[in-house]
């Protein structure tokens, strides 16, 4: 049985011969085979770039979602403040209307009292005074 030292040079010669034969018979295949390590490295680089891009995309998505939550919360606060302000203004408007009604009734009473006694209608005066008293 031949030893390993004796077999190795024979293997190298056979491989070299096989390579020469393959290059003559299929030169494009041999060129492609020699490109495999370079192509593998390019694929690894592309995968790393894709992973980096995915991480960046996820980070940007997270930031956008955070900003949207903040803007939504700020908008809700502003809406609540505006609703409170509208309710307050409606209350003030109702009170102003009541006050205007009372002022109009007082004006009616004063007008009746200040009219000359001959042209004054006592029933109308009593009715105006009653309305004024009832409004309180």
Is the residue at 113 inside a domain? yes
Domain range for 64 is 12-134
Is the residue at 79 inside a domain? yes
| Lowest-confidence segment of 6-15, 18-27, 59-68 by average pLDDT | 18-27
| pLDDT (average), residues 102-117 | 75
Is the residue at 5 inside a domain? no
C-alpha closest to that of 134 among 101, 93, 95, 92: 101
Is the residue at 3 inside a domain? no
Model's pTM, two decimal places? 0.46
Neighbours of 83 (CB within 10 A): 10
Is the residue at 6 inside a domain? no
| d(C-alpha 119, C-alpha 125), whole Å | 12
The answer to whether 34 touches 22, Cβ cutoff 8 Å, is: no
pLDDT in tens, 37-84: 888 999 999 999 999 999 999 999 999 999 999 999 999 999 999 999
Is the residue at 7 inside a domain? no
Sign of the dihedral defined by the CA atoms of residues 97, 100, 106, 107, in that order: negative
Neighbours of 34 (CB within 10 A): 10
The tally of domains found in the chain comes to 1
Is the residue at 2 inside a domain? no
| pLDDT at residue 118, rounded to an integer | 53
Neighbours of 128 (CB within 10 A): 20
Sign of the dihedral defined by the CA atoms of residues 48, 53, 59, 65, in that order: negative
CA atoms within 13 A on the CB side of 65: 6
């Amino acid at each position: 049985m031949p030893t390993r030292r004796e077999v190795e040079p024979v293997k190298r010669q056979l491989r070299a011969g096989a390579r020469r034969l393959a290059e003559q018979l299929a030169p494009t295949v041999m060129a492609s085979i020699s490109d495999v390590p370079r192509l593998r490295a390019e694929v690894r680089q592309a995968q790393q770039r894709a992973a980096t891009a995915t991480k960046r995309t996820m980070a940007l998505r997270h930031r956008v979602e955070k900003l949207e939550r903040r803007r939504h919360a700020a908008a809700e606060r502003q809406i609540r403040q505006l609703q409170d302000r509208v309710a307050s203004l409606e209350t003030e408007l109702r009170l102003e209307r009541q006050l205007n009604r009372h002022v109009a009734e007082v004006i009616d009473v004063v007008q009746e009292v200040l009219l000359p006694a001959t042209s004054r209608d006592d029933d109308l005066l009593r009715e105006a005074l009653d309305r004024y008293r009832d409004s309180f």
